[in-house]
Each structure stands twice: as C-alpha cells, then as structure tokens.
Chains A and B, each alone.
Chain A
Amino acid sequence: MKAPPFAYVRARSLADALDLLERHNHDGEGAKILAGGQSLMPALNMRLSSPAVLIDISRLQEQAGICVKDGHVHIGALTTHAAIGNSAAIRQHLPLLADAVEHIAHPAIRNAGTFGGSLATADPAAEWPACCVALDAQIVLAGKAGTRTVAARDFFQGLYATAMQPNEIITEVVIPIPAAGTRHAFLELARRRGDYAMVGVAALATFSGGAPRDVRLTFLGAGDKPLSATKTAQVFVNKGISESSLKEAQDTLATELDPAADLYSTAATKLHLARVLTARIMKQLVA
C-alpha cells in the first residue's frame, strides 16, 4: 500500500529537529522522526502508523560516525548498520556488533537503517537492542532542556516501548569496551536469512583458567524486550561448562524466560529454541 498523507520537514540541525518535534507534538499533531526509514517507512506503507508530520533527520551527518574515546566506543545514532559492519574500530573493540550485523535484514536495508533508529523502534526481535543490553551501553537522549543518558537495560521497557520522551531524540550510544580477553558470540534462529529472529542470543564471557567468570546471556525475540538471563548465566559461573551444567542452565532458563507465542511459533517452541541456543552459544564461547 501507499503511506497515508503526512507533512514533511527536513531538519537542518539537531536543535532544529528538537524545535520541530516540540512544536508539532505540542500541537497534538503527532510527529515522527525519520532517520533511516527502514522500520518507519514499512509501518507507514502498511498504514500501521499515521503521523501528521515526518521530521527528517537523515541529513544530520554530525550524528553519524564511530569514535573510540577513554575506553568507550561512541556510535552516532545515524550510523548505518552497514557502517558498523564495515568499521575496523567495531571489529576490534566490539566484535559482538560486527557478528550481529550479519543477521540484520539484507544489504540494501543495512545501507539505510540506523543504529539509533533500531533502538528507538525497540522491536523485541531486533539485534541492536539485545546487543546494547548485553554490552551495558548508555543511550544518550537530547531534548530541548539538554541531554540525558539512560542505561540500555532501563531504556527498553516493553513492546516498542522505551524510556524516551516524545520530544527526545537519540544522539549517540556509548559502549564501554569489554575487558581484554572477553569472549563474545551472537546466534540467531530465523525462518529465512534476514528475517526478524524467532529467538536469538548475545553472549559475553570472561574466563580464567578455562572456567567462566562473568557470563552475560541476553535474549532477543524471547519476550517483549531484550532479556538478560542472569540466573542461567550464573549456573555456568558456579559450575563451569559441562553436559550437566548445560542441562541445568537450560532448565533454569525455563524459569527465567516466558516467551509469548507469535504468528509462527508457539511459546513452547520459542522456549525450546532459546534452550537450544543457550547450549550452542556456551559451547561456541568455550571452543
């Protein structure tokens, strides 16, 4: 279908975008920020969304780019998925993101879709929100009154729901570089390559003498937001990685995750897949 009618304004600066957002939301018109458009445009074309005004921020190139500063990687909100996948700094410091990007849709979509856009959309089956929770990312939000920072784990609040206020815009994401020796893995099951995940998991772990010390398992597609399975991860810290601890962790996972059925999978199927991924990803981390 075609999008419903809307007005369109191209923001000239971040301040301009914030002004426009406040003005149009104040008038009760319902403004939407257009960044890469890879979630918003389908929603408009399917008429799932009908904002009165689109505020196009895609030209604000100062909001795009990756830099490394004081032990943190700063990713501008308008950085595309492709740019993250092609970044040597990401490969070096946050290889989890480099691995995850391959699961995001398809090349033509990765060229347009943005990091900040994915977070603001907060699709529970999307890759970046889960990665940001796993990596303890800080999400920087700009508003007319100034900027504030929200931890990723507090940012995602439910199905397409975040801690953002209607007049705020994500400007960048700041991610601490994991300690040297941290291992990572990202696994996802999808019906077809590039589809949204049925279930996926981002994992980070440190080891000492072959035994896992810190383990972080953050699931996507297994709830209404990214979910860190802390008790499951703790099983590996307490008992190492063995056939019996894998079994115990899988049983623990069943107490921590309570996925809802979707169009394609029952809740039981989703939980089963999450258990399978748990065993797979731990074996991959230790290999």
Chain B
Amino acid sequence: MKAAAMNAPETLIDTTLTLNGEAITRRIPVRQNLVDFLREEMGLTGTHIGCEHGVCGACTVRVDGNIVRGCLMLAVQAEGRTVETIEGLSDSGEIADLQDAFHKRNALQCGFCTPGMLLTVQDLAQKNPRATREQIREHISGNYCRCTGYQAIVDAVETVLAARQIKV
C-alpha cells in the first residue's frame, strides 16, 4: 500500500437510502461497512458485529427484501436501497410471534446471535413456510449460536411455522 493512500483523508459520499421505512441521507466514509454505519452512525445497535468476514451471521440485515451480511457490504453501496434491521422488523410487529417463541422456547441465552438469527428465520418463513427441521437447520447454518446448541432455536422456528400455517 502506498503511504499516500494511508494518510489521505477518508473519502465521503452522500448516500440516500430507506432505513426501516424512513428516507435518510448521510455523508458516509467509503470504507465503512453497512453494519458499522447502522451501529455507529444511526445508533441501531440491534445488528451485531462478530467475525467481520461473513462467517458468523450476527450482522444479518435485509436489503431490498433479501438478507445479506452487513459486514460484507459497504454502507455507500446502500445508495437507493431499502435496508431493514432487527429494529424495523421488531417495531412493525412482523416477527413478534418469532420473538415470542424464541423467548418461550429458550432459543436464546446471551442473545448475541439472536437479531441475525431472527432475520434469517423470517427469510426462511417467507420463502419456505413449510420448511422441515432439516431445512430450518440448513437455512440457519450460516448463523452461529454459541449458547443454545441450536435445538431450541429449531424448536421455536418449527412452532412458529406451524402456527402461521394454521393462521393462513
């Protein structure tokens, strides 16, 4: 790396995005990843940051309706996009039943993985509402939980998928 690059002032780009339903514009350093922007600039600390190389899933957010890794996307790449975080999904009530089931089934202990886990299982519920336990496990395979051993998480998700089927 050239010394000049190291010492150059960080470039900022005006970026407009829709965040949890609200249009915002911020001047964002190009090097900042989406999850750091959400946590540090927007104060949305529900999205966690773990490994910073796409392995742990703690930073999972929804961009234009699809879940992605918040640590593997630059915040400036959110220009014109719709970003939703655990705060947005919580406030809208979209995943209230999942949150309730996670609570009742002891599907979290320390809670570090939980926001990313909830976004990932909501994605599964939308794409494959009749998922089997095996398919639930496959879908959450990119979200590490170091507390529960996953069994309780799979139980909670299975319960909610079944309950949503009855409601439909």
Residues of A at under 8 Å CB distance from B?
1-8, 10, 29, 34, 37-38, 41-42, 45-46, 50, 52, 54, 56, 58, 82, 102, 105-109, 111-112, 192-194
Contacts and interface: CB of A to CB of B under 8 A. Distances in A.
Contact of B68 (A3, A8, A112): A112
B54 A58 contact: no
What 10 A-B pairs are tightest by C-beta distance, nearest first?
Answer: A106-B142, A8-B30, A42-B53, A193-B141, A41-B72, A111-B66, A108-B67, A50-B1, A45-B52, A112-B68
Contact of B69 (A10, A29, A54, A109): A109
Nearest to A7: B11
Given A5-B10, A52-B5, A108 B69 contact: yes
B113 to A, nearest CB: 13
Contact of B1 (A4, A37, A46, A109): A4
A169 B49 CA distance: 32
B73 A37 contact: yes
Contact of B77 (A42, A56, A109): A56
A179 B143 CA distance: 40
B166 interface: no
A54 B32 CA distance: 13
B1 A108 contact: no
24 contacts: A1-B52, A2-B31, A2-B52, A6-B5, A8-B13, A8-B76, A37-B77, A41-B71, A41-B72, A42-B52, A45-B52, A45-B53, A46-B52, A50-B1, A58-B77, A82-B66, A102-B138, A105-B142, A107-B139, A108-B69, A109-B142, A112-B68, A112-B69, A193-B141
B8 interface: yes
A4 B71 CA distance: 14
Nearest to A37: B72
Given A29-B2, A37-B77, A108-B57, 12 more contacts: A2-B31, A3-B33, A5-B31, A6-B30, A8-B74, A34-B74, A41-B33, A41-B53, A56-B77, A82-B66, A107-B120, A112-B69
* Interface class of chain B by DSSP: mixed
Listed residue (B8, B30, B60, B71) with the most chain A CB atoms within 10 angstroms of its CB: B30
Interface string B71-90: 11110110100000000000
Given A8-B11, A46-B53, A58-B77, A107 B67 contact: yes
Contacts of B67: 107-108, 111
Nearest to B4: A52
Given A37-B73, A82-B66, A5 B5 contact: yes
A52 B2 contact: yes
B54 A38 contact: yes
A112 B54 CA distance: 11
A37 B53 CA distance: 11
A52 B10 CA distance: 12
B168 interface: no
Given A3-B31, A6-B30, A107 B142 contact: yes
A161 B26 CA distance: 39
Nearest to A46: B53
Given A2-B52, A58-B77, A111 B68 contact: yes
A108 B69 CA distance: 6
A42 B5 contact: no
Nearest to B72: A41
Nearest to A28: B2
B52 A108 contact: no
A107 B11 contact: no
Nearest to A36: B72
Nearest to A56: B77
